[in-house]
Amino acid sequence: MHTRRIGDVEVSAIGLGAMPMSIEGRPDEARSLATLHAALDTGVTLIDTADAYHRDADEVGHNETLIAKALATHDRGGDVLVATKGGHLRPGDGSWTLDGSPRHLKEACEASLRRLGVEAIGLYQFHRPDPRVPYAESVGAVRELLDEGKILAAGVSNANPEQIELANDILGGRLVSVQNQFSPAFRSSEPELRLCDELGIAFLPWSPLGGISRAGELGSVHAPFARIAEAHGVSPQRVCLAWMLAKSPAVVPIPGASRPETIRDSAAATELVLTAEELAELDAA
């Protein structure tokens, strides 16, 4: 498995996005544990989660609890960087609400620590700017968590270039990752990707395959991905992830999965080398 860096930590160049195993449409626990174990078997050492990855109001942290269980029952569980987040809430009606207040972020971090069963969280990401709270105050809470040793590294998500610069300043140059939406159909975070590349900050594309309901359509929606996939005898999803990896050494995609075969297929993207012509064609697609 090829690796990349998030701050000081070396991780698999493809991570696992664990969200589909906890929200609407999730599989049963046995299939989720099999998916998480398949990821570990194949060498994945980065798992992305959030306290808000749950379905019902009374099961906050469902995804973190699931991951803690999977790691505890696998001999490579200790090698994994678990990247969680705080700042979103799910009231149980299918919606996603926000609380970026310092008080909430600190309480949320404590709860994540308990669910993950660790003394410090490997990577804590501020999930999404809350318009009711100055960005500097939210990120300031994350800085305090870092200074207190409750988290080992800090990231932000859904941030624009100005917010990335501000977060890095507030964190005293210690921002290690930015997680933004980026896929063949959603390329408007190219400026953030380029900024991360310049600053040496990891860029984690979320919904890299177009999102849970649309990822299966990648081939038909994006003909060049399907054509190049056929030429290599691989899936269009694998071509998509290899194309992203080629954009910058800062890029670490986190494709979601709820089945062992999909994370195995996605992880193999680290081995797929596309030609300069193919990459140019996909850039222009």
Give the residues lining the site for ligand NAP (CB under 6 A). 17-20, 48, 128, 157-158, 179, 206-212, 215-216, 235, 237-238, 254-259, 262, 265-266
- Of the listed 44, 53, 157, 181, which one is catalytic? 53
We find the least distance from the C-beta atom of residue 268 to ligand NAP, in angstroms, to be 8
Instruction: Compute the least distance from the CB of residue 29 to ligand NAP, in Å.
Output: 15
Toward ligand NAP, which CB reaches closer, 77 or 211?
211
Instruction: Provide, rounded to whole angstroms, the least separation between the CB of residue 224 and ligand NAP.
Output: 17
Establish whether 135 is a catalytic residue. no
Q: Are strands 88-89 and 97-98 parallel, antiparallel or unpaired?
A: antiparallel
Nearer Cβ to ligand NAP (168/262):
262
Return the amino acid letter for 271: E
* Nearest CA among 78, 77, 88, 15 for reference residue 48: 15
Closest to ligand NAP by CB, 140 vs 260, is: 260
Alpha-carbon gap, residue 130 to 151, rounded angstroms: 21
Q: How far is the CB of 56 from ligand NAP (least distance, A)?
A: 18
What residues are paired with 275 via a beta bridge? none
> What does DSSP assign to residue 114?
H
Nearest residue by C-beta to ligand NAP?
256
Q: How far is the CB of 127 from ligand NAP (least distance, A)?
A: 6
Are the CB atoms for 256 and 17 separated by under 8 Å? yes
Q: Which is nearer to ligand NAP, 48 or 51 (CB)?
A: 48
For residue 231, count other CB atoms closer than 10 A to its CB. 12
Contact yes or no for 111/51 (Cβ under 8 A): yes
Residue among 53 and 143 whose Cβ is closer to ligand NAP: 53
3-state SS track over 141-203? HHHHHHHCCCECCEEEECCCHHHHHHHHHHCCCCEEEEEEECECCECCCHHHHHHHHHHCCEE
Instruction: List the catalytic residues.
Output: 53
